[in-house]
A and B are shown apart, each in its own frame.
Chain A
Amino acid sequence: GAVVSQHPSRVICKSGTSVKIECRSLDFQATTMFWYRQFPKQSLMLMATSNEGSKATYEQGVEKDKFLINHASLTLSTLTVTSAHPEDSSFYICSAHGPQETQYFGPGTRLLVL
């Protein structure tokens, strides 16, 4: 089956630092990947659509300079949280549009900003 991985699974950082999260499709190519954020007891909120070889499309209210997205290859998209603050602490999940018109989700990355 189609598998999506994320790295790291958990990260703790100091306020003001930048954190990079990787999302990889392991056994299929994905021209489109998606980044979501999930707060406790809340639904997944789409942050941006990552398109291979072009700029990401951000949802309303998501700061593109704060959340940098790069989709350099058909199997890798990265999300960089720049100058992270405690309010950026959340669960970040990526997905990749794969076979059978299904989105395949990564296992998520727990970010804690101190």
Chain B
Amino acid sequence: KQEVTQIPAALSVPEGENLVLNCSFTDSAIYNLQWFRQDPGKGLTSLLLIQSSQREQTSGRLNASLDKSSGRSTLYIAASQPGDSATYLCAVSPYGNNRLAFGKGNQVVVIP
């Protein structure tokens, strides 16, 4: 069974600092990995999707890397802003279906 772990569970940073969020998964036989953002009491917004053949994806201030063999992904958020405060969820999809396995999330607070 795929286990997804996210570290740290929670962090607070001053505005302007770079954020580094880590995700690890136990089964490297994945089809893709996604990072999502979730605001309190809300649904999920997809941030980045990395296919298993890719090493990284970038969108604006966000960059996600994937090391499939070691079962790790890192989400970098450059020059953090208070609006980045949210929970960031990592999810992996196995080959053959789309049943996502989620981590518990990294809860981020960016202090103005």
Contact = CB atoms under 8 A, between A and B. Distances in A.
Nearest to B107: A41
A64 interface: no
A34 B99 CA distance: 8
A102 interface: yes
Contact of B98 (A42, A45, A97): A97
Interface in B5-50: 32, 34, 36, 41-46, 49
A93 B43 contact: yes
A78 interface: no
Contacts of B105: 43
Interface class of chain B by DSSP? strand
A110 interface: yes
Size band of the B side of the interface?
20 to 34
Contacts of A103: 34, 46, 98, 100
B59 to A, nearest CB: 13
A45 B104 CA distance: 10
Interface of B: 4, 32, 34, 36, 41-46, 49, 89, 91, 97-105
Q: Lowest 7 CB-CB distances: which A-B pairs, in order?
A: A105-B44, A107-B43, A43-B102, A43-B104, A44-B102, A105-B43, A108-B43
